[in-house]
Amino acid sequence: MATITSAHAESSRTVLAKLTHLAQYRELIWMLAWRDIRVRYKHSVLGAAWAVVPPTAMMLIFTFVFGTVVQIDPEKLTGRAGLPYSLFAFSGLVPWMFFANGLTTATMSLVSNRQLVTKIYFPREVFPISAVLSAFVDFAIASVVLLGLAVVMHFQPNGWSYQFHWTVIFIPVVIAVQMMLMIGLGLLLSMANLFFRDVGFLFRSVIQLWMFVTCVVYQLEATAGWKRAIIQLNPMTPIIRAYRDCMIQGQSPFDAFFINAAGVSIMILLVGWWWFRRREFDFAENI
pLDDT digits 0-9 by tens, 172-202: 999 999 999 999 999 999 999 988 888 988 9
pLDDT > 60? residue 12: no
Overall average pLDDT of the 40-54 stretch: 79
pLDDT > 60? residue 83: yes
Kindly state the percentage of the chain with pLDDT values over 90.
38
Contact between residue 106 and residue 11 where contact means Cβ atoms under 8 Å apart: no
- Domain assignment of residue 137, yes or no: yes
Overall average pLDDT of the 144-164 stretch: 80
pLDDT > 90? residue 97: yes
Distance separating alpha carbons of residues 260 and 238, to the nearest angstrom: 9
Q: What is the pLDDT of residue 15?
A: 67
What's the start-to-end Cα distance of the chain, in Å? Answer: 44
Contact between residue 269 and residue 253 where contact means Cβ atoms under 8 Å apart: no
Domain that holds residue 140: 26-286
- Domain assignment of residue 8, yes or no: no
22-31, 202-211, 222-231: lowest mean pLDDT where? Answer: 222-231
Overall average pLDDT of the 168-172 stretch: 94
- Domain assignment of residue 11, yes or no: no
Contact between residue 80 and residue 249 where contact means Cβ atoms under 8 Å apart: yes
Distance separating alpha carbons of residues 101 and 104, to the nearest angstrom: 5
Give 234 or 22, the one with higher predicted confidence: 234
Q: What is the pLDDT of residue 143?
A: 92
- Domain assignment of residue 4, yes or no: no
Q: What is the pLDDT of residue 22?
A: 77
How does the average pLDDT of the chain come out, rounded? Answer: 85
- Domain assignment of residue 181, yes or no: yes
Mean pLDDT is highest, among 9-23, 93-107, 188-202, 213-227, for 93-107
Q: What is the pLDDT of residues 240-251, one digit of tens each?
A: 999 999 988 888
| pLDDT grade for 159, boundaries at 50, 70 and 90 | low
DSSP, collapsed to helix, strand or coil, labels residue 224 as coil
Distance separating alpha carbons of residues 105 and 198, to the nearest angstrom: 15
pLDDT > 70? residue 8: no
- Domain assignment of residue 10, yes or no: no
Distance separating alpha carbons of residues 176 and 180, to the nearest angstrom: 6
| pLDDT grade for 287, boundaries at 50, 70 and 90 | low
- Domain assignment of residue 250, yes or no: yes
Chain Cα centroid distance, residue 54: 15
Number of domains into which the chain is organized: 1
Distance separating alpha carbons of residues 8 and 200, to the nearest angstrom: 37
- pTM of the model as a whole: 0.88
61-65, 103-107, 163-167, 272-276: lowest mean pLDDT where? Answer: 163-167
If we measure between CA atoms, which residue out of 59, 48, 216 comes closest to residue 150?
59
Distance separating alpha carbons of residues 128 and 124, to the nearest angstrom: 8
Distance separating alpha carbons of residues 24 and 70, to the nearest angstrom: 54
pLDDT > 60? residue 212: yes
Alpha helices in the chain (DSSP H): 2-23, 26-41, 53-64, 74-78, 85-107, 109-112, 114-119, 126-154, 171-195, 198-210, 225-233, 236-244, 256-279, 283-286
| pLDDT grade for 150, boundaries at 50, 70 and 90 | confident
- Domain assignment of residue 3, yes or no: no
Contact between residue 190 and residue 113 where contact means Cβ atoms under 8 Å apart: no
Q: What is the pLDDT of residue 222?
A: 65
If we measure between CA atoms, which residue out of 117, 118, 115, 138 comes closest to residue 36?
138
DSSP, collapsed to helix, strand or coil, labels residue 46 as coil
Contacts of residue 243, defined as CB under 8 A and 6 or more positions apart, other chains included, come to 91, 92, 94, 95, 171, 174, 253
